[in-house]
Amino acid sequence: MLNTIVLIRTDNFDKAMVALADLVRYGGMRIRGDPRIVPPALSDWAFEKIVGEKPRKRYRAHVVAQIDLPPAKAIGRLRDIHPPAHIIVIPPESPVHKELLRLWGTFEKLKGFHPPKVKRIEQKVEKEEGEEFY
């Protein structure tokens, strides 16, 4: 099963890291692998394809991350937590998702992001499952 991707658009990478931490801490999402930095033009293209209109605001920081929730559930939780960034959920069956995964290895890793600590029991289950991600 493919992971849902979130596109985070914000003023700086510090805010992007806070938004990612909020997804984990308050949204109950798990970040799979390392979040990546994407070029602004690709971010704008993804925004336009998913939202259906051109972005009105220009941002300096554009980050993508894979999460462990289905798109509808992720959108519902995003509405509840209000992170300090503009976040777009990209469903696995979309052409944007396919393109981002194709280019994933070329994106620079977001340095300095460490997900907030999760409970010991969850970490143990994760190790036992030996989950893989792309």
Residues 4-53: pLDDT tens digits? 999 999 999 999 999 999 999 999 999 999 999 999 999 999 999 999 99
> Any idea what the CATH number is for the domain that residue 101 is in?
3.30.70
Is 105 domain-assigned? yes
Q: Which domain range does residue 69 map to?
A: 4-129
Is 134 domain-assigned? no
Residue 106 carries which DSSP code? G
What is the pLDDT at residue 98?
96
**What's the pTM value of the predicted model, to 2 decimals?**
0.84
Q: Which residue has the higher pLDDT, 133 or 73?
A: 73
Residue 123 in tokens:
């970490």
Instruction: Show Cβ contacts of residue 13 under 8 Å, excluding neighbours closer than 6 positions.
Output: 37, 61, 63, 110, 112
